[in-house]
Structure 1
Amino acid sequence: MKRSELVFIPSPGIGHVTSTVELARVLVDRDDRFFVTIILMKLPFDDKFTSYCQSLAESTISNNIKFLDLPLLEQALDTKAKDIVATYMETYKPLVKEALAQLIESSTLRPDQPPRLIGLLVDMFCGTMVDVGNDFGLRSYVFFTSGVGYLSLLFSMQTMKDEQNVDSTQFKGSDTELMISSFAKPIPARVLPSMFLNKDVVPGFLNLARMYRQTKGIVVNTFLELESHVMSSFFDGLTLPVYPVGPILKLQRNDGDKGSDKVREKEEIIGWLDDQPPSSVVFLCFGSMGSFDEDQLKEIAKALEHCGHRFLWSLRRAPPKGTIVFPSGYNNPKEIFTDGFLDRTAKIGKIIGWAPQVDILAHPAVGGFVSHCGWNSILESLWFGVPIATWPIDGEQQLNAFQMVVELGLGVEIKLDYRKDFLSDDEVKMVTAEEIERGIKSLMENNGEIKEKVKEMSEKSKKAVMEGGSSHSSFDRFIADLMS
């Protein structure tokens, strides 16, 4: 029985690293012949992520998983670069290559059946690292931490460019609806991810698609039952193996030692939820990068007060314009809400900073989730059977929102086409209190059919990862291919 080692290279971001660690954990739990080394890159503007990487490197998640913590490259993030993501990954390439060389050298020195290094699994944004694997004669796989819907759109855009010279940036600001074979409904140009509408960035993303085609397969954090239409039509024209193995979720959180600030915050939040009736609370949270200016926050507050539903709101301070830093919490929310909103809603609402999202979505008091539609958040909400009201912000979230509301009927719309990211130079349009209130009321009051569909999908998501389930079987295929 051969012992085999894989190197996982996640993008530097908590969501991507967390999913990668969970995938590694599933792999070594399923087959203890596998050993995984996870290479951790850093972000120069995110001290919390750096600390998180250091804590991972010092932890023992499994005897078969180890971490290689690369140094922070202070000058690596060139905010003036046309394609920040691609430039950043290229800067880290020499360090990754050196790390791989050392791993290969050390493996030859191990006594007693050293695990053979058989390949790389690179994050969806780390396609350039496939070149590094090729330099060492290693096969590469991609770990796609979003859904197959976005993956199929990426491949479609790349094919349209290469075969028909279609420039996707022409769709910016248009009313065009795109017929993409893997989607049942036409995709409005207004929900296309920003990377397809930005002339400086789109070449890099299309190159990622080309790079994916050079790999041995793509592992996707989704499950067949969720994206069945996309997968049935997408697989037909693709020679590359795709392994839907999700939902890959971190359901058990370690928030630190008892008595730490995070543990105390979580206990306070869960204690408040314990006092609320079942399915009565709407939870608002917009991800690690989600924040709004004060005028938009006041519109949200107005909507919450007017609709009268109990609410738990993760409130984040927007970073200064023109900077790439993570939002922070407010020490005193009264500095924004000077009109008495906090006092008037004290009996029905709670404002928090950091949110233990999994614990909140798992709580029976939560009946709806106003979300930015990051893919991990969608999978978590479906797992716990909590319907979503969509408010996308950046990345591929507009497409995710479209899938949830229009394609799958698993969510309600606040907005599908809101966007506020560094790839878009569009003026950010205000979402009015009336639009927000209408979305929250639809989420909490009039969505019996959607609630039922979400509940069914919740059951399907859990069955998918059980023995005999679609994702469990797909993982078996992935392991068999790795060992072949």
Structure 2
Amino acid sequence: MATNLSDNSVLHLNEVIVAMVPWPEHGHLNLLFYLARIIASQNIPVHFLCLAARNQDLKKRLQGGLQTSVENLGNSNIHFNDLLVHSSPTETKDVFLERLGETICKTCHELSTNTKRLVMIHDCLMISYIGDHLHLMSNFKCYAFHPTSAFTRYSSLRQTIHIVDEDHDEMIQQLGEEFPTVESTFGPNMAEYVGKELKWKHNSGDIINSCRELEGNFIDSLAKAKENTPLWAFGPFNMLPESLDSLSISGNKKTSHKCLDFLDKQDVNSVIFVSFGTTTTLPQEQVKELALGLEQSNHKFLWVVRESDRRVDMENSEERHEKIELPEGFEERVEGRGMVVRSWAPQLEILGHLSTGGFLSHCGWNSSMESISMGVPMAAMPMTVDQPYHTLLVTHVWKIGVSVWSWARRKEIVPATAIEKAVKTLMGTPEGEETRQRVVELRNKIKKSVSHGGLAHKEMESFISYITNN
């Protein structure tokens, strides 16, 4: 259902085209696909510029069970521009991305000839690859999408430029070695990236998949630190009415995944879901400890085991798989109590299932937001980049989960005993039940915020109005 904008805004809707420029990895492009559907629902043409194989996957999400209501949901306003950029075995990733950026800008130039204003919404990681080619256009505005939390962005910014903030300093002092540094998370090049971002002359505004009910203070601090740049926070995207039924985006609902059949047979809040996202690969030794921890916990679980892989061709998504070995006899010993899935699984549907009572996760931002939006507490086991910051939000700020292992001991393999303890705490103690109650309360606040008339929904309307009038 489209939002009622002012008459002045409506006059400009057909004069604007939006070009979505994702980072070509699934976890990143999924969020911009949500945003594309939100904007398209406002009767604005949206072009999704991505590698052909990725676009093919996204097209499938608009099929199947959604056919009866496509026109009402704005999907007819989404256009897929397939970018054909092939890589060679000897080519570095940076060289490939440079050529991808050049192709993106050429496509945007073609789109700009058919509109009075082209609005480019790009993943912030694409700045390095599109900046040199934007001179081809004059009638465009760029908005950076940041696929992480306001807390992560602000904390990283403070570690690279001088910002006076006594409250933040107090948190850092209180947490000591548990507070992540950019060196321990993003690596030594983060300062260079932040400097490039701050100096980038084409940025007309920033968007984050968050909301004030979750990160009000950090959003305000981030906006103050970048006072000359508009900032919008109106997530979780998957909960906004314009982004469609949050479960349907996972895939075709006509075919039920086998793991949902397993969940259907379990008691309410009795199963812990275990997944580490699409880009995290656990070493074999860690997989063994995780398996033993789940087995020793004696709790029911659903574990999505991602095979380790090596990316060969980003365009054709060719991968070389190395089979993950579980402990001998593990699956036989946990049969009926635990289920292992070695393929894709519908994460939102799993988290939204009544039987799911906890989520053992790396705390990627997508997974964190989805868990909160479904009212599921978390056992946090971060690996790298922004995940340790989100772990602090989950365990220290929101208090909707437990920590599996100390970040100060991140170089060690997390032992089975620590995993067992975290699962038992989350799934079978008063402390775990309190985290569940808090996350349900937080989910309800967010549902109100993203609904029509809510704070996050109004911020979304503000963004739509801004890009169609400025």
Q: Give me the TM-score of the superposition, normalised by structure 2.
A: 0.82
How many Å apart are 1:344 and its aligned residue?
Answer: 1.9
Asked whether 1:220 is paired with 2:208, we answer yes
Aligned residue pair count: 430
Cα deviations by residue, 1:106-165 (Å, 9 ceiling, x for unpaired): x1xxxxxxx4333211112112335544541222111112111112123323424xx9xx
Match of 1:52 in 2: 57
Q: Which residue of 1 aligns with 2:346?
A: 356
**Contact 2:61/2:251 (8 A) holds in 1:** no
Name the residue aligned to 2:85: 72
Task: Say if 1:136 and 1:214 are closer, same or farther in 2 by CA, change over 3 A.
Answer: closer
Letter in 1 for 2:217: H
Partner of 1:458: 443
- Report if aligned partners of 1:185, 1:407 keep a CA contact under 8 Å in 2: no
Indicate the larger mover: 68-77 or 458-467. 68-77
Contact 1:130 1:215 in 2 (8 A): no
Contact 1:390 1:416 in 2 (8 A): no
| Cα root mean square deviation, aligned | 3.3
Contact 1:182–1:229, Cα closer than 8 Å, also in 2: no
Q: CA deviation at 1:20?
A: 0.9
> What's the offset of the Cα at 1:204?
4.3
CA distance in 2, matches of 1:209, 1:273: 44
Matching residue's letter, 2:232: Y
Paired residue secondary structure (2:161): helix
Q: 2-side partners of 1:100 and 1:56: how far apart?
A: 24
Task: Provide the secondary structure at the position in 1 that maps to 2:363.
Answer: coil
**Could you tell me which of 105, 111, 114 is aligned with 1:97?**
105
The residue aligned with 2:4 is: none
State the partner residue of 1:17: 29
Residues 1:39 and 2:27 are matched in the alignment: no
Q: 2:62 & 2:354 partners in 1: Cα distance?
A: 35
Cα contact 1:276–1:365 (8 A) shared by 2: yes
Q: 1:465 to 1:256 in 2, by over 3 A?
A: closer
| Shift, 1:67, TM fit | 1.4
Counterpart amino acid of residue 422 in structure 2 = G
C-alpha contact (below 8 Å) 2:273/2:302 kept by paired residues: yes
Pick closer, same or farther for the CA change 1:474–1:321 going to 2, 3 Å: closer
CA deviations over 1:214-260 (Å, ceiling 9, x no partner) = 511111100111012212333334311110010012531353596xx
Q: 1:321 to 1:454 in 2, by over 3 A?
A: same
Report the structure, 1 or 2, having the larger helix content. 2
d(CA) in 2 for partners of 1:196, 1:402? 13
Give the one of 284, 289, 298 matched to 1:308: 298
How much has 1:407 moved relative to structure 2?
2.4
Higher RCO (Cα < 8 Å, 6 or more apart)? 2
- Closer/same/farther in 2, CA of residues 272 and 22 from structure 1, 3 Å limit: same
Give, in angstroms, the shift of residue 364 of structure 1.
Answer: 0.5
In the aligned structure 2, how far is the partner of 1:156 from the partner of 1:415?
25
Q: Write the deviation string for residues 420-467 of structure 1: whole angstroms up to 9, x where unpaired.
A: 9xxxxxxx4210011111111121122232112101111112112112
The residue number in structure 2 matching 1:172 is none
Is 2:328 the partner of 1:342? no
Q: CA deviation at 1:480?
A: 2.3
Q: Is the 8 A contact 1:361 1:384 kept in 2?
A: yes
* Counterpart AA for 1:436: I
Aligned counterparts of 1:245 and 1:184: Cα–Cα separation in 2: 28
- Cα distance in 2 for partners of 1:134, 1:147 equals 31
Q: Secondary structure at the match of 2:372?
A: helix
Partner of 1:423 in structure 2?
none
Corresponding residue for residue 206 of structure 1: 194
> Which whole-Å CA distance do the structure 2 matches of 1:300 and 1:133 have between them?
47
Alignment of 1:28-427 (within 5 A): 28-29=40-41, 31-32=42-43, 34-41=44-51, 49=54, 51-52=56-57, 62-75=75-88, 79=92, 88-105=96-113, 107=114, 115-128=115-128, 129-133=130-134, 135-137=136-138, 138-160=140-162, 185-186=171-172, 188=176, 191-193=180-182, 198-199=187-188, 201-211=189-199, 214-239=202-227, 240-249=229-238, 250-253=246-249, 255-256=251-252, 263=255, 266=257, 268-319=258-309, 336-338=326-328, 340-353=329-342, 354-415=344-405, 417=407
Shift in Å at residue 317 of structure 1? Answer: 2.5
For residue 430 of structure 1, what is the aligned residue in structure 2? 413
Contact 1:289 1:327 in 2 (8 A): no
2:383 aligns to what SS in structure 1?
coil
Q: How far apart, CA to CA, are the structure 1 residues paired with 2:63 and 2:101? A: 24
Per-residue deviation, 1:26? 1.1
- Deviations 1:190-209 (Å, cap 9, x if unpaired)? 6235576633x335422443
Contact 1:464 1:471 in 2 (8 A): yes
